[in-house]
Amino acid sequence: MRRFILWSSVILISSMIAACCSTKKTENLKSSDQVFLPGPKVIIYQTKNDYSKFVPVILSEDKKSIESYPDIKDIYLNGNLAYPTQLHHGYWLDNRGISKNVAYFQPLICMYSCGIRSSYKDIEKELNSKIDSEDFTTFAKIK
């Protein structure tokens, strides 16, 4: 009988500890500041010249070889040519999927990653507001 009570006590205490630990883990997940959502990334950039009508080609880091280029289907967005969207102060919103190694932007003045598209209600208005106020603090500088 003593063994039964001892084992029952051990099982009960172990269950209580496990329940407490799992509750804390759940609470920590709920209060996390970082949430990773899937979706297309938002890239804005400035160039010294207007390359908005050119097709982007991505070069390797050493710029000696082509890493990727778009298929004909990739240069269209909803049936229209996927030109970048012109924003304020010479900034462009990428609609094609470029990176800092894009070949026709020589030179890029700057480039920022601005989160994902689904986090914006009115992407042009919100980005222009940030650009106008020169508030890039929530963006990750790429170049």
Question: Is 58 in the same domain as 104?
Answer: yes
Question: Is 27 in the same domain as 64?
Answer: no
Closest of 42, 49, 43 to residue 107, by C-alpha: 49
Helix boundaries (H) for 74-141: 123-132
Q: Quote the pTM value.
A: 0.69
Query: What would the pLDDT profile of 1-39 be if each residue is shown by its tens digit?
Result: 656 555 555 565 555 565 555 444 444 444 445 455 677
Question: Is 21 in the same domain as 79?
Answer: no
Predicted local confidence at residue 66, as pLDDT: 93
Question: Is 59 in the same domain as 102?
Answer: yes
Question: Is 4 in the same domain as 65?
Answer: no
Contact 124, 85 (CB under 8 A): yes
Question: Is 30 in the same domain as 50?
Answer: no
Query: What would the pLDDT profile of 45-63 be if each residue is shown by its tens digit?
Result: 999 899 999 888 999 999 8
Tally of domains in the chain: 2
Domain span holding position 6: 1-34
Of 3-12, 17-26, 104-113, 124-133, the least confident: 17-26
Q: How many CB atoms lie within 10 A of CB 87?
A: 19
